[in-house]
């Protein structure tokens, strides 16, 4: 078997002073299977914090795109489209918001999105995981670098990049959308899209027409549910998040509870509660409340 190819990428910054080497390992006689590892090395080069324009996207300056949702996915999509010459409107009513487990990015993400290495976006490097069993026994093991950002900071940072690239940010909540000649929410046809959205304290207004519509309002977003209906229950999990002010550790803690099979298979697979009003979610919340500090420390960023 021929030697596996190696690709080295050197980065350093005031936030994450490290160089990472990606080792691609080719397996099998046909060389069709690949996997990657990321190793920490002493810093030896400097990478600029700017992001080059995307390659291979041709300008379509007469095309208009509506992006529903301005989180990391929607903001990055809006930036790329605006950079390519599209007229982009991002519908996102919130300038900042927190989200449980919404700011963790592995080293692979930092490699693919180097613009996150930016002094304007404070982050924390996590290199250790603590697991606590239901009986209280603990185990620790090292992690490949995981970077934790405040989701509020990440949200505003990504939106600012999108608007700088030329996208228009409509601070309005989408209440409905429709394609010409079809029922609300999508369907076949070649008509333009119109979006009805309301600013805080105002009646809904109609925006458009748009040639394309992007549903980037999250896994439980209304736009996503309309365009991609019929999500199977087995693919839907539940979760409860807590925010502990002033906690900023160098490790992640995973706490397990008796009779709560959060990572099991089959019908008993339960991680927590997307609807906090359900009896099951209330039971989980009451059982976990006493261990909130132990369960959550290490996963939250202390804002300056």
Output the domain CATH number for residue 77. 3.50.50.60
Does one domain contain both 159 and 93? Answer: yes
Whether 233 maps to a domain, the answer reads: no
Per-residue pLDDT of the chain (304 residues; tens, 9 = 90+): 444 433 333 333 333 433 333 333 333 343 333 333 333 332 222 222 333 344 444 444 479 999 999 988 999 999 999 999 999 999 999 887 777 666 688 888 888 889 988 888 888 888 998 999 989 999 999 988 888 888 888 889 999 999 999 999 999 999 999 988 765 444 444 579 999 999 888 888 899 899 999 999 887 788 888 887 766 666 666 666 666 666 667 888 888 888 776 554 433 323 332 323 334 444 444 444 444 333 333 333 333 3
Does one domain contain both 78 and 209? Answer: yes
Whether 109 maps to a domain, the answer reads: no
Report the C-alpha gap between 109 and 99 in whole angstroms: 18
Whole-model pTM over 0.85: no
Last-in-domain residue among 227, 253, 286: 227
Report the C-alpha gap between 214 and 217 in whole angstroms: 9
Whether 103 maps to a domain, the answer reads: no
Does one domain contain both 197 and 163? Answer: yes
Last-in-domain residue among 227, 257, 285: 227
Does one domain contain both 83 and 220? Answer: yes
Does one domain contain both 88 and 133? Answer: no
Whether 190 maps to a domain, the answer reads: yes
Whether 171 maps to a domain, the answer reads: yes
Does one domain contain both 136 and 159? Answer: no
Burial class (CB in 10 A: 0-12, 13-18, 19+), 233: exposed
Whether 120 maps to a domain, the answer reads: no
Does one domain contain both 200 and 246? Answer: no
Does one domain contain both 181 and 218? Answer: yes
Residue 124's closest CA among 101, 147, 142? 147
Does one domain contain both 68 and 195? Answer: yes
Helix, strand, or coil (residue 276): coil
Does one domain contain both 180 and 68? Answer: yes
Whether 222 maps to a domain, the answer reads: yes
Phi and psi torsions of 98, nearest 5°: -90, 160
Does one domain contain both 290 and 249? Answer: yes
Report the C-alpha gap between 214 and 179 in whole angstroms: 13
Last-in-domain residue among 179, 198, 227: 227
Does one domain contain both 80 and 206? Answer: yes
Whether 106 maps to a domain, the answer reads: no
Q: What's the structural domain count of the chain?
A: 3
Residue-range definition of the domain harbouring residue 248: 126-142+238-296
């Amino acid at each position: 078997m021929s030697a596996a190819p190696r690709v080295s990428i050197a980065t350093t910054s005031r936030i994450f002073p490290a160089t990472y080497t990606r080792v691609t390992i080719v397996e099998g006689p046909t060389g069709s299977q690949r996997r990657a590892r990321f190793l920490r090395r002493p810093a030896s080069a400097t990478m600029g914090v700017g992001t080059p324009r995307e390659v291979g996207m041709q300008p379509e300056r007469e095309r208009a795109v509506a992006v529903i949702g301005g989180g990391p996915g929607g903001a990055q999509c809006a930036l790329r489209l605006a950079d390519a010459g599209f007229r982009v409107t991002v519908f996102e009513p919130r300038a900042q918001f927190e989200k449980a487990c919404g700011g963790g990015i592995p080293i692979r993400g930092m490699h693919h999105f180097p613009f996150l290495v930016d002094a304007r976006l404070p982050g924390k490097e996590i290199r250790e995981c603590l697991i606590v069993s239901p009986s209280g026994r603990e185990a620790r093991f090292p992690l490949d670098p995981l970077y934790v950002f405040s989701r509020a900071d990440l949200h505003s940072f990504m939106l600012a990049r999108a608007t700088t690239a030329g996208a228009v940010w409509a601070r309005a909540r989408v209440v409905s959308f429709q394609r010409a000649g079809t029922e609300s929410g999508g369907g076949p046809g070649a008509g333009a899209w119109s979006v009805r959205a309301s600013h805080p304290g105002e009646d809904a207004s109609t925006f458009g027409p748009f040639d394309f519509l992007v549903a980037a309002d999250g896994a439980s977003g209304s736009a996503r549910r309309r365009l991609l209906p019929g999500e199977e229950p087995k693919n839907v999990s539940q979760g409860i998040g807590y925010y502990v002010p002033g906690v900023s550790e160098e490790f992640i803690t995973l706490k397990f509870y008796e009779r709560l099979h959060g990572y099991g298979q089959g019908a008993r697979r339960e991680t927590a509660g997307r609807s906090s009003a359900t009896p099951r979610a209330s039971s989980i919340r009451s059982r976990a409340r006493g261990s909130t500090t132990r369960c959550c420390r290490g996963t939250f960023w202390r804002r300056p």
